[in-house]
């Protein structure tokens, strides 16, 4: 690697030594203005005496991409050279001031006998054995990208709103070129949407996507050369499910939208990470909602937030959307930074309105194009554009934890009063909290189900506030936190029949679904407490499922129970110790109850899900299949697997095949189908990941650890490949009753693998350690075993900084 960098003094900087980051490099030579110099080299970088004015720095270094199992910097993935530089990977390529606020124009020359040589920006001169690239837009080093390999391209073209032609290409390994069309269509849809919705036009002559098999994340937004985990690019009806298609669409959009919210405007330092990630998650959620329906998308986002981010907020890994400190920045690519960061953007938009939001974003792009910005810069454009004071709202970026909003009610002489109070529980390092701005969207219905008060946003800004509605003919039924207007936990004593009423009548998609979840929570709690399930629950749900006017995808979500994680957190909030096996058992009993109670309608719903004709991932077809397969999962509990086996045998697309196999495995059936699946797809690496993952995630609790252990001895288990590792060890973490086996076997098994993985890929090991996140809420037997394994990991000689920080935070 040869680097030539033109430096000039920063007039605002304090005098100090010239320092360049660099790790795992061998310095061959260094020159300043052509003259050899002898820098002082350490494990973290180098220092050197430099001239007082402008100068050109040149360095030649060696590194070893083939030995780079960290998958950071430059590495080799099955014969393909590729890079991953966010957050601090560029320092593993050459010596550089590797900070997000150091921005420069890059010119790159690649010399290789490999046929495809790619980098950021626009292509320049090329010939046998070399290619040159020029990126005219200044960027930080974390956005640098390079790829060299045996690749083929799926090509297309996009014409921007100003009439410029952009050449598009999705680069894949030979043999995968037939699985690129959906990624390309998603890219073009994203480019058009960003023009229509935000007025943002693409700014280079080419846009390249490359699919890489060995990749720690989903994808990376490098300027003009997005590098993707192949699982987030490749799709065909035979090898990808509806969920895969939706995931590819969302990730392609997310990385493309970063071109403006992350690349053209980046973050001043890594504490501002949510400035680009939270905003871009919000933008990709808008995009998906516009394409596939905002009601279903909002529910999906809430389910994910409650299962992942609420757990993070209420455990030892809690941190603000803008972290206050870190040892290893890779450990803060979290659900709090991404998903809660997006929720903060959504609340801001709700408070200032659509017009105010668009005005502020236009000002943001105008004012900060080419900048490394901060959260303060972001909020200031909203204040300047709308005249609103956001000093209290800023607390969402600095205070960790999930707010609890308590609701009390009063009714007298046509006046209905809501008393709202907020509490933000203590979190690590933040024992006391201040009241925040919480937008609480409320609607009121009369006893006939008519809406007498349309959605109104109440701004809760104090510890306790009252809001009054007058002129009502009868006591209303409130629909509170409509559209999941804020990422809060609602605490309210409501009559049991109210949820059934809202499930039947609420005009808000989210809260109608939430009413069904409330009924499910009551049923789960009844089983946990040894009580009978309310017999009225299934009929209430049945009425909603019979409503053909509802989107099939929405009705499918009505059939889903709250997650086991949500149940566990609710118990812990009440001061009760968590028994994962008891929770799993209660959930299974509720599913059996539903299967019996809805037996009359389930066959018809399954039949509705059989879409005729060639496979299509369009929203209508996806919704129908989702409803049919949700019904199938319950039907399989009562028909001995007859319908699931028939669907598996006749399936001509991966969605129906995996749905049938999952339904069988969930009730302890499907061994023959599992073998058939393996035999057919053992040559398709992404499909085989599903085969590994389904067995572990759907194993009965007593068999989960043994299943995972057996699969790690399978000839095709490659523990150094992140996707394959996640398909087994990650799937075990997704089986809470199995992972938290009272014997401690799950803890020992995962700890063994984390110690092994840490020596090869510390980033992945650190992220996977999050499976231990909830150990403190377990009963004493499990808790002591989990603590012992965490202590064993921490005591391992040579533990990486990544994993050491995570385990230290978990132990407290």
The torsion angles phi and psi of 739, rounded to 5 degrees, stand at -65, -40
CB of 311 closer than 8 Å to CB of 569: yes
**Domain limits at 179?**
153-258
CB of 244 closer than 8 Å to CB of 188: no
Here the tokens at position 463 are 């510890």
What amino acid positions are annotated as catalytic residues? 255
Alpha-carbon span 446 to 474, nearest angstrom? 7
Shared-domain flag, residues 2 and 137: yes
CB of 206 closer than 8 Å to CB of 122: yes
Q: Which residues of the chain, if any, have pLDDT below 70? A: 535-536
For the chain, the distance separating the N- and C-terminal CA atoms, rounded to the nearest angstrom, is: 42
Nearest Cα residue to 673 out of 654, 658, 686: 658
- The domain that contains 786 carries what CATH number? 1.25.50.10
What does the pLDDT read at residue 538? Answer: 76
Is the pTM higher than 0.85? The answer reads yes
Shared-domain flag, residues 18 and 71: yes
CB of 533 closer than 8 Å to CB of 527: yes
- Asked if residue 620 is part of any domain, the answer here is no
Shared-domain flag, residues 466 and 338: no
Shared-domain flag, residues 141 and 21: yes
SS3 352: helix
Rg (CA), the chain: 27
What does the pLDDT read at residue 495? Answer: 86
- Alpha carbon distances (Å) from 726 to 119, 283, 329: 29, 27, 21
- The domain that contains 85 carries what CATH number? 2.60.40.1730
Shared-domain flag, residues 278 and 361: yes
- Asked if residue 663 is part of any domain, the answer here is no
CA dihedral (397, 399, 400, 406) in degrees, to 10, reads: -110
- Asked if residue 649 is part of any domain, the answer here is no
Domain boundary, last residue among 132, 150, 168: 150
What does the pLDDT read at residue 220? Answer: 98
Shared-domain flag, residues 306 and 167: no
Shared-domain flag, residues 283 and 366: yes
- Asked if residue 723 is part of any domain, the answer here is yes
∠724-727-732 over CA atoms, to 5°?
Answer: 140
- The domain that contains 224 carries what CATH number? 3.30.2010.30
How many Cβ atoms are within 10 Å of 400's Cβ, its own excluded?
25
Q: List b or e across 24-57, with b for residues whose CB sees 16 or more CB atoms inside 10 angstroms.
A: bbebeebebeeeebebebeeebbebebeeeebeb
- Alpha carbon distances (Å) from 465 to 344, 350, 419, 602: 21, 20, 6, 45
- Asked if residue 538 is part of any domain, the answer here is no
- The domain that contains 444 carries what CATH number? 2.60.40.1840
CB of 544 closer than 8 Å to CB of 511: no
Measured over all CA atoms, what is the biggest interatomic distance in the chain, rounded to whole angstroms? Answer: 89
Alpha-carbon span 782 to 444, nearest angstrom? 45
Shared-domain flag, residues 162 and 117: no
Domain boundary, last residue among 150, 179, 212: 150
CB of 557 closer than 8 Å to CB of 297: no
CB of 676 closer than 8 Å to CB of 639: no
Here the tokens at position 521 are 């929570």
- Asked if residue 579 is part of any domain, the answer here is no
What does the pLDDT read at residue 536? Answer: 67
Shared-domain flag, residues 249 and 270: no
Bridge partners, 469 (sequence order): 416
**Does residue 87 have a cis bond before it (omega within 30 degrees)?**
yes
- Asked if residue 565 is part of any domain, the answer here is no
Nearest Cα residue to 147 out of 190, 188, 193, 115: 115
DSSP state of 389: -
- Tally of domains in the chain: 5
Give the strands of the sheet with 451-460, arranged side by side: 451-460, 438-445, 477-480
DSSP state of 411: E
- Percent of the chain that is helix, strand, coil (3-state, to 5): 45, 20, 35
CB of 489 closer than 8 Å to CB of 402: yes
What does the pLDDT read at residue 219? Answer: 98
- Alpha carbon distances (Å) from 133 to 138, 148, 154, 156, 766: 14, 13, 20, 20, 35
Domain boundary, last residue among 110, 132, 150: 150
- Asked if residue 475 is part of any domain, the answer here is yes
Here the tokens at position 126 are 């090329």
Shared-domain flag, residues 9 and 128: yes
Shared-domain flag, residues 415 and 392: no
Name the helix (H) or strand (E) containing 212.
Answer: strand 206-212
DSSP state of 6: E
How many Cβ atoms are within 10 Å of 684's Cβ, its own excluded?
17
**Chain length of the chain:** 812
Shared-domain flag, residues 3 and 145: yes
What does the pLDDT read at residue 13? Answer: 83
């Amino acid at each position: 690697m040869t680097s030539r960098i033109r430096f000039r003094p920063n007039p605002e900087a304090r005098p100090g030594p010239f320092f360049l980051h660099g790790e795992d490099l061998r310095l061959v030579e260094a020159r300043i203005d052509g003259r050899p110099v002898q820098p002082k080299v350490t494990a973290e970088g180098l220092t050197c005496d430099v001239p007082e004015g402008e100068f050109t720095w040149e360095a030649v270094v060696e590194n070893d991409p083939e030995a780079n199992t960290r998958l950071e910097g430059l590495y080799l993935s099955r014969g393909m050279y590729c890079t991953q530089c966010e957050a601090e990977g560029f320092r593993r390529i050459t010596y550089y001031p590797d900070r997000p606020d150091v921005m420069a124009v890059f010119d790159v020359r690649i010399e290789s006998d490999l046929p495809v040589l790619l980098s950021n920006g626009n292509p320049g001169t090329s010939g046998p054995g070399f290619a040159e690239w020029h990126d005219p837009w200044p960027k930080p080093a974390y956005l640098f990208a390079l790829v060299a390999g045996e690749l083929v391209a799926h090509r297309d073209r996009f014409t921007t709103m100003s009439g410029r032609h952009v050449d598009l290409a999705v680069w894949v390994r030979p043999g995968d070129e037939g699985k690129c069309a959906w990624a390309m269509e998603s890219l073009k849809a994203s480019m058009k949407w960003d023009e229509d919705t935000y007025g943002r036009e693409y700014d280079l002559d080419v846009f390249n996507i490359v699919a890489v098999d060995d990749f720690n994340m989903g994808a990376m937004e490098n300027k003009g050369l997005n590098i993707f985990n192949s699982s987030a690019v490749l799709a065909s009806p035979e090898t990808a499910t509806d969920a895969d298609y939706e995931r590819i669409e969302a990730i392609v959009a997310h990385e493309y939208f970063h071109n403006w919210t992350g690349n053209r405007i980046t973050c001043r330092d890594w504490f501002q990470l949510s400035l680009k990630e939270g905003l871009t998650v919000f933008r990709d959620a808008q995009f998906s909602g516009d394409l596939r329906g905002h009601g279903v998308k909002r529910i999906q986002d809430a389910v994910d937030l409650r299962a992942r981010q609420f757990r993070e907020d209420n455990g030892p890994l809690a941190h603000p959307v803008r972290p206050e400190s870190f040892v290893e920045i890779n450990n803060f690519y979290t659900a709090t930074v991404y998903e809660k960061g997006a929720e903060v953007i959504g609340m801001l938009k709700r408070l200032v309105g659509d017009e105010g939001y668009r005005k502020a974003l236009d000002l943001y792009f105008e004012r900060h194009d080419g900048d490394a910005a901060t959260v303060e810069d972001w909020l200031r454009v909203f204040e300047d554009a709308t005249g609103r004071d956001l000093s209290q709202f800023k607390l969402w970026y600095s205070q960790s934890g999930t707010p609890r909003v308590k609701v009390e009610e009063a009714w007298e002489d046509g006046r209905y009063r809501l008393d709202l109070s907020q509490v933000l529980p203590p979190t690590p390092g933040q024992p006391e909290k201040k009241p925040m701005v919480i937008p609480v969207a409320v609607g009121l219905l009369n006893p006939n189900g008519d809406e007498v008060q349309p959605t109104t946003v109440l701004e809760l800004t104090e510890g306790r506030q009252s809001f009054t509605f007058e002129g009502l003919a009868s006591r209303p039924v409130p629909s509170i936190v409509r559209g999941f207007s804020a990422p809060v936990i609602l605490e309210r004593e409501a009559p049991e029949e109210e949820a059934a009423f809202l499930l039947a009548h609420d005009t808000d998609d989210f809260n109608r679904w939430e009413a069904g979840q409330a009924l499910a929570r009551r049923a789960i709690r009844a089983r946990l407490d040894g009580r009978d399930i309310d017999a009225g629950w299934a009929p209430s749900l049945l009425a909603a499922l019979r409503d053909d006017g509802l989107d099939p995808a929405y009705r499918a979500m009505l059939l889903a129970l709250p997650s086991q994680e949500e149940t566990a957190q609710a118990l812990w909030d009440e001061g009760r110790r968590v028994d994962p096996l008891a929770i799993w058992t209660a959930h299974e009993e509720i599913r059996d109850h539903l299967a019996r109670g809805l037996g009359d309608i389930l066959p018809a719903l399954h039949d509705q899900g059989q879409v005729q004709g060639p496979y299509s991932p369009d929203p209508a077809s996806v919704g129908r299949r989702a409803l049919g397969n949700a019904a199938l999962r319950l039907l399989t509990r009562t028909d001995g697997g007859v319908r699931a086996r028939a669907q598996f045998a006749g399936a001509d697309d991966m969605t129906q095949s995996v749905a049938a196999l999952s339904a069988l495995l969930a009730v302890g059936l499907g061994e023959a189908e599992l073998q058939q699946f393996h035999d057919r797809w053992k040559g398709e690496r992404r499909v085989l990941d599903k085969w590994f993952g389904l067995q572990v995630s759907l194993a009965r609790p007593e068999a989960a650890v043994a299943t995972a252990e057996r699969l790690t001895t399978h000839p095709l288990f490659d523990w150094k490949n992140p996707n394959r590792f996640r398909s087994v060890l990650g799937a075990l973490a997704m089986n809470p009753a199995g992972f938290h086996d009272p014997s401690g076997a799950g803890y020992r098994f995962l700890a063994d693998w984390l110690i092994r993985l840490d020596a090869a890929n510390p980033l992945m090991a650190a992220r996977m350690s999050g499976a231990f996140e909830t150990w403190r809420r377990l009963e004493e037997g499990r808790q002591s075993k989990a603590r012992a394994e965490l202590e064993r990991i921490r005591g391992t000689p040579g533990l990486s900084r990544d994993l050491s920080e995570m385990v230290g935070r978990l132990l407290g």
